[in-house]
Amino acid sequence: MKIGLLTLPLTWNYGGILQAYAINHILSEKGLEVILLDKRKDRSWIVKVLVSIKWRAIRIVGKTNFIKKSKLLAVEKFKRDHFQTEYLLFNTDHLVKACQKHNIDCLIVGSDQVWNRGSMPGFKEYFLDFDGKIKVKKIAFAASTGHLTQNYTPNELRVISKNIKKFDLVSVRELFTAKLFQRNYSVNVEFFPDPTLFLSRSDYVNLIQENPKPVGVNYLFYYVLDPNEETLIKTQSLGKKLDLSILNFNNEDKNNSVESWIKAFNDCEFVVTDSYHGMVFSIIFNKPFLALKNNKRGVERFNSLATKLSLNCRVVNNIPDNLDNIKKIDWKVTNKVLHEWVIDSRLKFDRSLAPY
């Protein structure tokens, strides 16, 4: 079976790249061939030409020794090493042709915020509506709407209603999304972990074996997507109390590759983040953490995962002056709950892949 994987464009979003890597890894272990479908926003023909030239140049330069000079080029190298990609698919016809070219048997949409209308580079394609031009198995793997509410237009709601029941499996990453789709469309929806949580810590350590140099020693990993001075000052104060230096990954003048990002979690002692996947990788590596609520990016995503794993006390509005009132994480209990959740989700996913 050949799989087409449709996710958001993979640029320098570490979590977005690694969730796609995880799905690819899961399927490759089953002996399945995976084609990453690089869907882009449809544009005028002249913009398409310019975008194509830009990305062709990036891929060429990415094969040179300049790789350490640019975060974007480092990300492109990771993609080249780990994915088989059909690039720059701007519209439905491009996707259909790519599926026909590779004889795709099954399309998987996910994970990340593929059903967040503010993030999708196209709408009906992400609900696998191809106007009947191809016949394939359809699976939503831990798809996310990102936010509690989505202001879908009447036409978009019709697209969802028309297509959602045609899926062989609908699984989502947040419990509130599962309830929303079950209520509105009378379809069975499974609550899955983010794909990155299907892999073990050792799976990610294997990715950093060629980068044995530590990114720091005895440090607190500060990975905040929307930083401000108050948050940084409070993090520095927390670091002093914990006797840890601060690794501010976003501001480090170094090769911010995917591997170095993973390495930062592996080697740190504590994490402060407002990133969903920052929280996820803290859990994977069993690192104590504080996840700062980021209303702009969707607090509900954090709450859904934290509730499932009984880590709600770790999702906070602000960094506390001390950690005395925050319950210590019992990783043995957390890992057991996560393991059972992953096993159950894997079984459901495997059944959905079975031939008709």
Which pLDDT tens digit goes with each residue over 310-329? 999 999 999 998 888 889 99
pLDDT in tens, 217-273: 899 999 999 999 999 999 999 999 999 999 998 744 455 789 989 999 999 999 999
Same domain for 105 and 62: yes
At 213 the pLDDT is 62
How many residues make up the chain in this entry? Answer: 356
Largest CA distance in the chain: 61
What value does the mean pLDDT of the chain take?
A: 90
Same domain for 192 and 249: no
Helix (H, G, I), strand (E, B) or coil at 279: helix
Cβ(276)–Cβ(297) under 8 Å? yes
Q: Is residue 204 part of a domain?
A: no
Q: Is residue 331 part of a domain?
A: no
Percent of all residues in the chain with a pLDDT value above 70, rounded to a whole number = 92
Domain count, the chain: 2
Same domain for 107 and 254: no
Same domain for 273 and 177: no
Higher pLDDT, 68 or 258: 258
Q: Is residue 30 part of a domain?
A: yes
Q: Is residue 301 part of a domain?
A: yes
Distance CA(219)–CA(272), nearest Å, equals 11
Domain that holds residue 150: 2-199+340-353
Which residues make beta-bridge pairs with 37?
A: 6, 86
Q: What is the mean pLDDT of residues 99-122?
A: 94
Same domain for 233 and 155: no
Same domain for 236 and 256: yes
Of the candidates 336, 262, 275, 242, which has an alpha carbon nearest to the alpha carbon of residue 21? 262
Q: Is residue 23 part of a domain?
A: yes
User: Residue 68 above 60 pLDDT?
Assistant: no
Residues 6+ apart with CB under 8 A from 242: 220, 269, 270
Same domain for 219 and 169: no
Q: Is residue 267 part of a domain?
A: yes
User: Residue 55 above 80 pLDDT?
Assistant: no
Of the candidates 340, 285, 272, 279, which has an alpha carbon nearest to the alpha carbon of residue 305? 279
